[in-house]
Amino acid sequence: MSQPSHLVAIHPLPTSSTTPHPVPAPQPPTPTQRPQTATHPDLQLPEAGTQPIAKLHKSEGQPVGGPPRTGGEPGQPAAPTRLPVRVAKGEAQRGPVTDGALALRYQDVPEVQVAPARPVLRLVPTGPSLPDAQAWAPRLVQALAEVLAGDRPIGQLVRFTDTVVFADVSRRVRVLGLTTTATARGAKERSAVRSVHVFTPATEVAEVAAHVRYGDRSRAMALRLEVHRGRWICTALELG
């Protein structure tokens, strides 16, 4: 017996009359648009090759081209953006953060030491103390009265009178011609100091008024004493 043959169905290939699917034509490249950084409707970017011009908004005072403002209520001006403060490397930041050139550096104040008070200087006398004018005036009046009476040599007054007073007393002794001693004239003509009054208008000044008796006669004497080189010196003499 002969075996049955297998039959295969063959579909016909499409002919050139079949319509192909349409292929889209390539589109020309679109220019890249610059991103808008500001969302305000009045803000516009300048064209290429032109200088940007800053324009202030009437309500907010925001310059065109500046950084956008964020936050705030609709219709209200937003708070300005604060720039970060740069701190030098290795420098510790102290105190509150401030803007740029307004930043201050705090320095430690050194401790102030108060110098001790200086001791008060006092004058210390190097020689003998100055005698009291109340005790010295009667002795000088007695010496002057004895010189004028011829009972004492005038040379003893050199240390206790200035040149003017010493010259005046020397002239008076020569005029009176007191060359005789008290013994020859008699004891009744000797000088005697009756009273002495001392007034000190200043620390180193004394004014003296004295009453001197010469026998039966009385005589007034006025002196001015001043301190020179640590002792009392007669700088003025008046006889009455």
pLDDT band at 229, cuts 50/70/90? Answer: confident
> Letter for the amino acid at 105?
R
What number is the average pLDDT over the span 172-185? 66
User: Domains, the chain, ranges and CATH?
Assistant: 133-239 (3.10.450.50)
Rounded distance between C-alpha atoms, residue 60 and residue 47, angstroms? 24
> What confidence tens digit (pLDDT) does each residue in 141-154 have?
999 999 988 888 98
> What confidence tens digit (pLDDT) does each residue in 40-97 have?
555 555 555 555 554 444 444 455 555 555 555 555 666 666 666 565 555 555 555 5
210 phi and psi angles, rounded to 5 deg: -130, 155
Long-range pairs for 150-154: beta carbons < 8 A, 24 or more residues apart: 150/176, 150/178, 150/179, 150/180, 150/181, 150/182, 150/185, 151/181, 151/182, 151/190, 151/191
